[in-house]
Structure 1
Amino acid sequence: MRTIKRYAKETTDDLWAGGRGWILLAVGAGWALSIGVRFVYPALVPYFQDDFGIGLTTTGLLLTLLWGAYAIGHVPGGFLGDRIGEGTVVVLSTLISAGTVLVVATAINVWMLFAGTIVFGLATALYGPTRFTIFTDIYPNRAGSAIGLTMAAGNLGNTVFPVAAAVIASYTTWRYGIGSFSPLFLGVAVGLWMAVPNRTSGGGSAVDELSSDTLARIRSGITRESIPIVVAIQVTASFVIQGFSSFYPTYLTVTKGFSPAVAATLFGLFFAVGAVIQPFSGTMLDRLGARPTLVLYFGGCVAGLWLLPFVDGLVPLVAATVLISSWNGCGVVTQTYIADSLPDDMQGTGLGTLKAGWMVVGATSPLLIGTLADYGSFDHGFLLLASVGTVGLLLSITRL
C-alpha cells in the first residue's frame, strides 16, 4: 500500500511540476467539452425524431456523418499541429466548436442540422490528435498517466453533459440543451490560450509541404514497428464504441423496456466507470506495458457485449454496462503507443492520419446499427459489435 501511495505521489508531483499541471487541466477541460458534447447527440435522438420527423436510419446517418467528419478532420488537425503549433490548434478547435454548437441549436430544418453537425465534427477533430502530442511532448516519462487522466476528464464530460442536456431539453427544448455549451467552449478557449504554449514540440516539422517525398515520409513513419497491428486493433475498438454509444440509450428503451431516464443513467454509468478506469489504464501502461493492459480492458468490453442481448433486469444490465465500460481503457493504450512510436517531427500528422483512417471505418457503425434497429434487429446489431470486438481482442493476444 505504501508503495502504491508513494508511486501516486511521485506521479502527481511530476505531472504538476514546472507549471505543467495547468496545461493538463486546460487540455482536460477542452477534451471534456469536445467529446462530451458529441455524446449529447445520442441523448437527444428522441427530440431530433420528433422535431424533424426522422427515423433511426436517418438518425444513424446523422451520427455517422458526425463521427465521419470528426475522423476526416484529424488529418488537417495533425498537420496544423505540426505546422502552426499544438496550442494554437486546440484554441482554434474550441472557438470554432463554440460557433457550430449555436448553428445546431438554431437549425430550422434537417439540412441545417446535418450541416452544423458535420462542421462541429470537423472542428472538434482538430483537438483529437493534438492533445496526445502535447502530452507526449511535455511528459516524456508520464505520457500514459497524463493521457489517462485527460481521457478520464472526457468521460466525466460524457457522464454529465448528455444528462444535463436531456434535463434541460425536458424542461425547455433540446435547442437550449445543446446551445448552452457554446459559452463553455468560449471559456475553455480562454483557458487554453493562457495555459498552453503555442508550440510544445520542437520547431522542426517533417511536413512543411505535402510533396511526394513528404507523403513517403509519412507512410514510412506510420508503418514502423508494431503500429499497423495497433491500428488494426483500434479500428475494431472504434467500430464498437461508435455503434454502441450512438444507440445504447435507445436500445435500452426499445429492447429492454427501460424508461428514458433509466436508460440515460445507465449510459452515464458507462462513462462514469470509464473515468475511473482510464487513469488506472495509463498507470498500468506505464508500469506493465501495452499488451497486458490492452488484453485486460478489451477482454472485459467484449465479454459485456456478448452478454448484453441475453440479460434483462436492472442489476444484470448494470453489470454488463460496467464490463463494456472496460473499453475506456483501450484508447489510452493504443493511442499513447502510436504517438510514442511515431517520429518526433511528424507525431501530429502521423497520429492524425491514422486516427482519420480508423475512425472513418468506425463511423459506418451508427448507420448500420440504426438500419438494423429500424428492421427490428437491434440485438443482432449489438452482437455484430461483439463479433468485431472479438477480432480486436484476438489481435491483442496473438500479434501485439
Structure 2
Amino acid sequence: MLGSLCALVFLVNFARVVFAPLVEPLRSAFGLSAGVAGLVVTLTWVGSALLRLPTGYLLTRVSRQRVVLGTGVVLTGAAAFAATAQSVVALGVGALLLGLASGAYFVAANPLVSELFPSRVGRAMGIHGTASQLAAAAAPLTVGGVIAVWSWRAVFVGLAIAAALATAVFYWVARGATLPTAGTADRDLLGALRRQWPIVLAAVVIVGATGFVWNGFFNFYVTYLTETKGFSEPLARRMLTVVFAAGVPAFWLTGRLADRVPYVPLLLAILAGFVVSLLALTVVQTTVLVVAVSVVLGYVIHGLFPAVDTYLLASLPDQHRASAYAFYSASMMLVQASGSVAVGSLRDAGLGFTPLFRSLAAVLGVVFLALVVLYALDVLPSDARTV
C-alpha cells in the first residue's frame, strides 16, 4: 500500500512544482509578465488549498482510500486539460485543477499513511515525503529534457499518462489490502477543531508563514539566479534541482528524527535555519557558495514538512486526526499560496530580488522570535489534547 501511495504522491507533487521550472518557457510562449506568471503558479497552490477542508468533511463520510483514488482521477484529467491550453486563462484553469487534486490527496493520504504505521509515524511520513520530494528534484531536469526534445505541452501529456497508470495500480492494491480502522471514529469535523485548535493554530503559523516565503522564493529561484547572480537559465534550472534534491535526505532523516526529539524545538530550529540560509543566499556571489548555501536552504526547508506532519498526526487522537489535519492543511495552504503572486507583483513594481528576499527573511525572523517567546511562556502546545 505504501508503495502505491508513494507513486501517487510523486506525481501529485510533480504537478504542484512543475510550474517553477516552466515559468520562463510559459512566459515566452504566452508573453506573460512576472506578475501574471506568478499568478498562474499561485493558482496551483490556491487550488491545493481550496479542497482541503471539503475533503476533511468528505473523510467523515467516505474512506481515505476512496478519496485518494478520486484524486488520481482528477490529476489525470487536469494534466490532460493543461496540455491543451491555448490561452493564459486556460493555463490558469489547468493549474488550478492540478492544485485541487494535490490538496485533496494530501488531506486524505497523510492520515492514511500515519494510520498504516501508528508506531512509526515519523518514519512513514518521511518515506512518503521522500517520494514526494523526489518529484520536486526531478521536475527541473525533466522539464528541461522534455522541452529540449518536444515542448512544454509534452510535460503535461506525460504527467497525464503516468497519473492514469499510478491510479490504476493504487486501485488494484487497495482492493486486496487490509486497511486500518482508526479513521472510522473521525466523524465530527467542527468538534475536532473546537478541541484541537491550539495545536492546529501553532502548526498553521509556523508552516503558513514559512511556506509563504518559500513559495515566493522557489518559484522565482531560476529568475533570481539569472537576473541577480548572473547564471545562465539552464544552469539556474539545474540549481533548482539542487535545492529540491537537498530535500530528499531531509524528508528521510527528519521524519526519523521527529520520532525521537521534542516536536516544537525541532520546528523552531528548522525555522531559524531557513531564515539564516535565505539571508546568506542574498549575500554570496560565487558559484561555489551559491551552490553550498542552496543545498543548506533546500535541506532545511524540506525538513519542516515531515516534522510538522509528525507533530500533528502522531499527536492527534483517532477521533480528530483527519478532521483537525484538514483544518491545518487548508489554512496553511491558503496563507502560503499567495507567496508567488506577492513576489511577482513586487517585482513588477520595481523592487529588486535582493531587498525583497531580505525583507521577507526579516519578517520571518520576527515570527520566529515571537514563537520562541511563546514557547518559553509554555503557550505553544507540545501535543494534541486528549479526547
Matches within 5 A, 1:336-351: 336-351=310-325
* Cα distance change on mapping 1:36 and 1:204 into 2, 3 Å: same
TM-score, normalized by length of structure 2?
Answer: 0.90
**AA at the equivalent of 2:360:** L
* Separation (CA, whole Å) in 2 of partners of 1:106 and 1:65: 17
Change (3 A) 1:165 1:393: same
Question: Is 1:300–2:278 an aligned residue pair?
Answer: no
User: Is 2:122–2:256's contact at 8 Å kept on the other side of the alignment?
Assistant: yes
Q: Considering only aligned residues, what root-mean-square deviation do their CA atoms show, in Å?
A: 1.9
Q: Is the 8 A contact 1:230 1:334 kept in 2?
A: yes
Question: Residues 148 and 282 of structure 1 are in contact (CA less than 8 Å); yes or no, is this contact kept in structure 2?
Answer: yes
Which residue of the partner structure matches residue 131 of structure 1?
109
Q: Is the 8 A contact 1:86 1:198 kept in 2?
A: no
Aligned-residue identity in percent: 27
Q: Distance in 2 between matches of 1:345 and 1:273?
A: 36
Please say which of residues 50-59 and 161-170 is displaced more in the overlay.
161-170
1:277 maps to amino acid: A
- 1:307-354: CA deviations, max 9, x gaps? 111111211111221221111111111122122333423322221122
- How many Å separate the matches in 2 of 1:336 and 1:385? 27
The answer for the alignment partner of 1:363 in structure 2 is: 337
In the alignment, which residue of structure 1 is the partner of 2:137? 159
The answer to whether the Cα contact below 8 Å between 1:87 and 1:200 also exists between their aligned partners in 2 is: no
**1:156–1:396 CA distance, 2 compared to 1 (3 A):** farther
Residue aligning to 1:228 = 201
Distance in 2 between residues matched to 1:376 and 1:231, nearest whole Å:
28
Residues 392 and 333 of structure 1: CA distance in aligned 2, closer, same or farther (over 3 Å):
farther
Residues 82-109 of structure 1 show CA distances to partners (whole Å, capped at 9, x for unaligned) of 3211111111111110111111111011
Distance apart, 1:387 and its partner CA: 2.4
Structure 1 95/388 Cα, relative in aligned 2: closer, same or farther at 3 Å? farther
Contact 1:218 1:350 (8 Å CA) reproduced: yes
Residue 206 of structure 1: CA displacement?
4.5
Amino acid corresponding to residue 280 of structure 1 in structure 2: L
1:353 corresponds to 2:331: no
Q: 2:184 aligns with which of 200, 204, 220?
A: 204
Q: What is the Cα deviation at residue 263 of structure 1? A: 0.8
The alpha-carbon distance between structure 1 residues 194 and 381, as it changes in their structure 2 partners (threshold 3 A), is farther
Pair 1:394-2:376 in alignment: no
Q: Which residue of 2 aligns with 1:330?
A: 304
CA deviation digits over 1:124-165, x for unaligned, max 9?
Answer: 211112222012211111010110111111111111123212
Amino acid at match of 2:233: P
Q: 2-side partners of 1:391 and 1:127: how far apart?
A: 33
Deviates more, 1:388-397 or 1:84-93: 388-397
> Partners of 2:266 and 2:147 in 1: how far apart?
39
Give runs of aligned pairs for residues 238-387 of structure 1, distance below 5 A.
238-325=211-298, 326-374=300-348, 375-387=350-362
1:132–1:391 Cα change, 3 Å: farther
Partner of 2:79: 101
Deviations for 1:193-242, whole angstroms, at most 9, x for unmatched residues?
123459644463544xxxxxx56413313315x44223211111221221
Separation of aligned partners in 2, 1:191 and 1:203: 23
Q: 215-224 or 185-194: which moved more?
A: 215-224
Q: What is the Cα deviation at residue 396 of structure 1?
A: 5.1
Question: 2:363, 2:51 → 1: CA distance?
Answer: 25
Structure 1's 395 and 122: CA in aligned 2 closer, same or farther, altered over 3 A? same
Question: Are the equivalent residues in 2 in contact too, given 1:281–1:332 (CA < 8 A)?
Answer: yes
Given candidates 178, 189, 195, the residue that maps to 2:173 is: 195
Q: Partner amino acid for 1:187? A: L
Following TM superposition, where does structure 1 have runs of at least 4 consecutive aligned residues deviating by more than 4 angstroms?
A: none
- How many residues end up aligned between the 2 structures? 371
Distance, in Å, in 2 between the alignment partners of 1:199 and 1:321 is 40
State how 1:83-122 maps to structure 2 within 5 Å: 83-122=61-100
1:59 partner letter: A
User: Equivalent of 2:151, from 161, 173, 177?
Assistant: 173
Residue 150 (str. 1) matches residue 125 (str. 2): no
2:209, 2:34 → 1: CA distance? 23
Name the TM-score, length of structure 1 as normaliser: 0.87
Give the aligned partner of residue 383 of structure 2. Answer: none
Could you tell me how far apart the structure 2 residues matched to 1:147 and 1:385 are? 29
Distance 1:391 1:227, change over 3 A: farther
Question: Are the counterparts in 2 of residues 242 and 366 from structure 1 also a CA contact under 8 Å?
Answer: yes
* Counterpart contact for 1:64–1:365, Cα < 8 Å: yes
